[in-house]
């Protein structure tokens, strides 16, 4: 069994490859040979703004198809890109330990110091909505492409600032000006900063691969995804969801924009998740 070469499917970007290599290291520590398979996704080819796209799973669907076709054995994704419902026949087998979940404001000036009318680049509907609420005087510009491409637009003075995930900046070891956005003001996207590994439900090595799972991050990821399902939201929504451990309890902050801003805070033990979801539904529909 240990002579089996596990094929790891991933996008082609430098960030995606970094994440796949991190998974590859852990798979090799289990004693397996590995091969990284680069796959171009629909989201890599279609540069339309996310706001006009109706397709969920832009960065995951093609890779998951390759997984179901048995052209690869596992798929590695940024978990925030996964739709709240994944394809039949596939399962989340593991996540790596979450490191950074915050957003980063790339600029020589603080988000509150940037002059009126300056251009801020982002393709995320959530980031656009939160930015409009905080700074309605700024101009928001759709910026697609990999991290390096977006930073290049800032360096070329096409935009005055940029919002990226802190995890991406750290993983690529980039040195850029700016500051971390307070996650309780600029609430992150659900599962931001989490690397997820998918397999086929019937893959014969599932038990072995699951050994690389970080159980604490897995629970946090599950909680955030369950609230995504309640909201029927995906990666194109203006919803921020952040679950954090405090002792043996989970602190949840959910925020979204619908003409005004709505915030929901709660803390609970994981065993009481269903009761918390019921409480949230009452708050959401009765607000």
Distance between CA atoms of residues 78 and 190, nearest Å: 11
DSSP class per residue in 46-59: --S-GGG---S-TT
Q: Residue 142 above 90 pLDDT? A: yes
The burial class, CB within 10 Å (0-12 / 13-18 / 19+), for 51 is exposed
Is 81 an annotated catalytic residue? yes
> Residue 85: which pLDDT band, with cuts at 50, 70 and 90?
confident
Q: Which of residues 260 and 44 earns the better pLDDT score?
A: 260
Which of the four pLDDT bands, split at 50, 70 and 90, describes residue 191? very high
The per-residue pLDDT for range 197-213, each reduced to its tens digit, is: 999 999 999 999 999 99
Q: Which of 92, 28, 101, 31 is nearest to 60 (CA)?
A: 92
Alpha-carbon gap, residue 254 to 165, rounded angstroms? 18
Given the residues 46, 71, 73, 81, the one annotated as active site = 81
Where do you find CATH 3.40.190.10 in the chain?
Answer: 5-99+190-286, 103-180
Is 0.85 topped by the overall pTM? yes
* Helix (H) or strand (E) run with residue 245 in it: strand 239-246
Which CATH code of 3.30.1390.20, 3.30.70.20, 3.40.190.10, 3.40.50.800 fits the domain covering 5-99+190-286?
Answer: 3.40.190.10
Assigned CATH class of 103-180: alpha beta
């Amino acid at each position: 069994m240990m002579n089996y070469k596990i094929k790891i499917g991933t996008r082609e970007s430098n960030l995606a490859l970094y994440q796949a290599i991190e998974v590859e290291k852990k798979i090799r520590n289990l004693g397996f040979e590995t091969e990284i398979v680069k796959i171009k996704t629909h989201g890599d080819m279609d540069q339309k703004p996310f706001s006009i796209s109706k397709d969920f799973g832009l960065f995951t669907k093609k890779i998951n198809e390759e997984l179901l076709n048995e052209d690869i054995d596992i798929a590695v994704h940024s978990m925030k890109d996964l739709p709240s419902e994944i394809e039949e026949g596939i399962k989340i087998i593991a996540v790596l330990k979450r490191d950074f979940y915050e957003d980063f404001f790339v600029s020589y000036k603080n988000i509150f110091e940037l002059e009126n009318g300056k251009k801020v680049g982002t393709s995320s509907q959530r980031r656009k909505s939160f930015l409009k609420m905080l700074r309605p005087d700024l101009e928001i510009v759709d910026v697609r492409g990999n991290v390096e491409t977006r930073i290049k637009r800032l360096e070329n003075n096409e935009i005055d600032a940029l919002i990226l995930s802190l995890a991406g900046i750290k993983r690529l070891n980039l040195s850029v000006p700016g500051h971390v956005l307070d996650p309780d003001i600029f609430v992150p996207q659900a599962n931001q900063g989490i690397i997820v590994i998918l397999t086929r439900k019937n893959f014969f090595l599932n038990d072995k691969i699951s050994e690389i799972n970080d159980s604490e991050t897995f629970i946090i990821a599950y909680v955030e995804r369950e609230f995504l399902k309640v909201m029927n939201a995906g990666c194109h929504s203006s919803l921020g969801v952040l679950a954090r451990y405090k002792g043996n309890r989970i602190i949840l902050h959910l925020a979204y924009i619908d003409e005004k801003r709505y915030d929901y805070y709660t803390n609970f033990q994981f065993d009481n998740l269903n009761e918390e979801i019921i409480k949230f539904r009452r708050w959401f529909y009765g607000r």
